Amino acid sequence: MQFRYNSRDLSHKNPFGAVEAGSTVSISITARDGLFVHAVSIIVSKDDGEEYYIPMPFECKNGEWSKFSGEVFLDTAGLYWYRFSVLTEHGEIILSRGADNNISTNGESYQLTVYDKNYVTPDHMKGGVIYHVFVDRFNRGTDKDAIWNKTGVLKNWSDAVTIVDSDGVFRANDFYGGNLEGITEKLPYFKELGVTLLYLSPIFKSGSNHRYDTGDYMMIDELLGSEKSFKRLIDQAKAVGIGVMLDGVFNHTGSDSLYFNKLGTYPEVGAYGGKTSKYYKWFNFSKFPNEYNCWWGITVTPTVNKSNAGYRKFILGEGGVIDKWTKLGLAGWRLDVVDELDIKLVTEIRNSSKRVDKNVAVIGEVWEDASSKIAYSERRPYLLGKQLDGVMNYPYKEAIIKFARDNNAEDFISRTMTIYENYPLQALNCCMTFLGTHDTVRAINSLADRDISHTSKADRLHIDLTADERNLAKHRLKVATVLQYMLPGVPSIYYGDEIGLEGYEDPINRKPFPWDNMDEELRAHYSNLGEMRKSCRNSMSGKMQVWTQDGALHIVREGSEQKTHAIVNNSFNVASVCGLSGVDLLTSKTITPDSSVNSGEYIIVIESSKGKTQNKK
């Protein structure tokens, strides 16, 4: 290629990555001598606007390369795209982003994210650690307010989860009795892991164990305890430096709910009962009463008509759902299936949450690159300043798992840098960086080499990794967690991953926490990582550099007062520490400039802003 441009190189594009509205971005491209260039232009377009050309005059020569530069002024927030037009002796050449960020004549436009200049995200998220609790399966505490009154079965803690009932239907009505007091009792455990935020699966009244089919938004599920139980958790957690984030399920309710009331559980007439119900217009029926819009065709989760004024007031208004629970002292809301919510509603949820407390975090469930997400034919402005503080970072999950398995450092760098380039840093630093959730295969299983392609779900319920399979997966998990804790964002532990709890797809990944059978070595590893995050909180809110050398990954995080280096060697080579010295925060081993990182090993060392390494305290 006779042209050079790298959007991640400050000599080509400055400043790096996403910028605030009102910024000027300097862009330079170089052409090799021998090709006669008449003119170079940047072709810029806003996401929904016409293209315009910005001239790039000749600036200077460097050896056999000629440099052409121009400036782009970006006055309003939005998503912008740009390419290059080069007029040569052979005609016009259009250049854009190719594979691995290389410039190409057959690529896609470069993305430029421009966010609102007033975009501020909560500092309490940044540099911390999240623990994701699936409440029914975490711990059964002693609470007189936690009452069994379900249609289903209350199991013993050691019983296997139910994957399907005897009639072939999965009802998710097997319960283990994990409750809010059980979480409160384990606050010392969370502190040992360095946790700063608890993310709870839904806790409102519901007929299922996962509670994503809400029965009553204004009531804590009786099996979990009471509103007093919840307030006690919030207050005691806050006293030890831990916030609480709730799962907000606002796209759909349960069919067995106060609002729909298909089963007649509630005394009030629900939408299923007819037009006399005040909730009738909350839902859309195609053929009353049994044909109605529901999430993914699942009839137990009827979709709410989110444009209904009564519903919006109920969720958003004074004394409404968000207002009531946020005022108890919530640190944040995680919005379930946020792409099912219209743009205006997401903005209003943010406003409603921050009306109570501007530091409340609003995090969205997005599985793709959230900066350019299109849902229902609309580009979603999630990270432009008026909607979300962050998202669940599935692209990072996929990049980490893949690297831990195949050691393709270049692919890892490409995947992670794409997100780093596209997301505003203040948003990326609030994103959840995880290896597994209640919707995915357990982290340790995703890293194992067990072939399950010819097994049934019933088989997978009872599959345990062999000792050799588990040891390999465990090593990969340690590698993966070092990356998880070093990348921008907030590492999020799905309950039980820190002690190697196994499980395939849901509900197999929702087993009760085995308090009497924990992998203490793995738990200690997570605790060390949590301590590292605490020691490095300043740098973990800062910028990132990542490269590969000697087959190893090098990640550097730099804040205003601190710089932290990680070297992860998942190759078969011996890697240099590149002149680092200090103490490895994970093993307490002394690192000198002559040290090396062997195959399968990793180190994390703090460097002060003055270039001196710091010892672990």
438 & 321 share domain:
yes
Mean pLDDT (the chain, rounded): 95
289 & 433 share domain:
no
Span 531-543, average pLDDT: 95
- Give the domain CATH number at 17: 2.60.40.10
Segment holding 309, helix H or strand E: helix 309-316
Contacts of residue 109, Cβ cutoff 8 Å, sequence gap at least 6: 45, 81, 82, 83, 96, 97
For the cut 50, the answer to whether the pLDDT of residue 494 exceeds it is yes
511 & 390 share domain:
yes
- Tokens standing for 611? 């270039």
At residue 242 the predicted structure's pLDDT band, cuts being 50, 70 and 90, is very high
522 & 551 share domain:
no
For the cut 70, the answer to whether the pLDDT of residue 560 exceeds it is yes
Task: For the chain, give the number of residues.
Answer: 617
245 & 257 share domain:
no
- Tokens standing for 207? 């007929």
Specify the pLDDT at position 609: 47
264 & 348 share domain:
no
408 & 500 share domain:
yes
The pLDDT tens digits for 396-433 are 999 999 999 999 999 999 999 999 999 999 999 999 99
DSSP 35: S
Last residue of a domain, one of 510, 534, 558: 534
Span 572-593, average pLDDT: 93
Strands 91-97, 78-88: pairing is antiparallel
185 & 43 share domain:
no
Span 241-264, average pLDDT: 98
What is the tally of structural domains in the chain?
A: 4
Span 71-88, average pLDDT: 96
Phi-psi region of 194 (alpha: psi -120 to 50; beta: other; left: phi over 0): left
200 & 291 share domain:
no
The pLDDT tens digits for 158-203 are 999 999 998 999 999 999 999 999 999 999 999 999 999 999 999 9
Specify the pLDDT at position 1: 61
Contacts of residue 603, Cβ cutoff 8 Å, sequence gap at least 6: 565, 566, 567, 577, 580, 584, 586, 587, 589, 591, 597
261 & 387 share domain:
no
Span 76-83, average pLDDT: 97
The dihedrals phi and psi of 71, each to the nearest 5 degrees, come to -125, 140
Span 318-345, average pLDDT: 98
Which residues form the domain of 272? 252-305
Closest CA to 279 of 247, 245, 244, 314: 314
For the cut 80, the answer to whether the pLDDT of residue 614 exceeds it is no
- Tokens standing for 267? 């005394």
Would you say 137 and 176 are in contact if contact means Cβ atoms under 8 Å apart? yes
339 & 273 share domain:
no
The pLDDT tens digits for 283-323 are 999 999 999 999 999 999 999 999 999 999 999 999 999 99
82 & 133 share domain:
no
